[in-house]
Structure 1
Amino acid sequence: MKLRIEDNSLRLRLSEEEVQQFASSGRVAAVVSLGPAPEESLTYALERAESEELRVSYGAGALTVKVPAALAAHWTTTDQNGFSATLMVAEDQPLKILVEKDLDCRH
């Protein structure tokens, strides 16, 4: 899974295998080591949630994008390439979230 952070936006791109893992388990994650100790790493994840809205959580070195179950099911079982949302994380501070399938080109 690829993570891109730019200004007030997050973009996650999942390979076909990661999309399948997300569909079956409800979660896919990756870890970036930023130092030698385990607490010096960043874990980023896409997680299926029972909420009605897309959400983001961050704490203890973990960034998680939580996707409503209905949206997750539709995205993983159709040819829909991606979905996006804009969250207001604070007054006048929007955070744009984009999640996409990073599939090989097929001719």
Structure 2
Amino acid sequence: MKIRIKGNSLRYRLTRSEVERFAAEGYIDDSTSFGLTQLTYSLKVSGDDDLRADMRNNCITFYMPSHMADEWTQTDRVGFESNSSDLYLLIEKDFMCLDLPMQDQADNYPNPLMMDHVG
């Protein structure tokens, strides 16, 4: 799972296996160590009507309504976004990069633009 924070925006990108695990368990997390401190970031199914996020005890939790989670994990839908609060939220499936072919991308979703770069 990749996380991007820029200003008042938060974006998560998940690979295929991460989306599958999220679909099965309703929760997924990862973490990064900063010496003695650890930042955890998670995605959790919620009963809310819209995307939301909060941060407590060095953990960023991104909440995804169950109806969105079902659609996102069971269809080709790329992602969801929300501008309903001061924090812009975006959750997406992680596509293969077209400009970094040497990077291991076996678990990423096929990039729809790949056909434009073939032959």
Q: Same fold (TM over 0.5)?
A: yes
Identity of aligned residues (%): 37
Alignment of 1:27-66 (within 5 A): 27-35=27-35, 37=36, 40-66=37-63
- When the two chains are superposed, the root-mean-square deviation of aligned CA atoms in Å is 1.3
Aligned to 2:49, what secondary structure does the other structure show? coil
Which whole-Å deviations, capped at 9, do the CAs of 1:8-47 have from their partners, x for residues lacking one? 1011000000000000000111100011x3xx11000111
C-alpha separation between the residues in 2 aligned to 1:57 and 1:72? 18
Structure 1 moving runs of 4+ over 3 Å: 104-107
Match in the other structure for 1:104: 110
Structure with the largest fraction of strand? 1
Matched residues in 2 for 1:83 and 1:29: separation? 18
Deviations for 1:67-103, whole angstroms, at most 9, x for unmatched residues? 1101100110000011100132xxxxx2111100012
Distance 1:8 1:2 in 2: 17
The one of the two structures with greater contact order (alpha-carbon pairs below 8 A, sep at least 6) is: 1
**Match status 1:11 vs 2:17:** no
Q: TM-score, normalised by structure 2?
A: 0.78
Q: How many Å apart are 1:104 and its aligned residue?
A: 3.4
Matched residue SS, 1:19: helix
Structure 2 residues not aligned, in runs of 5+:
95-108
Q: Aligned residue pairs: how many?
A: 99
Bigger Cα displacement from structure 2, 97-106 vs 79-88? 97-106
* Distance in 1 between residues matched to 2:5 and 2:110, nearest whole Å: 23
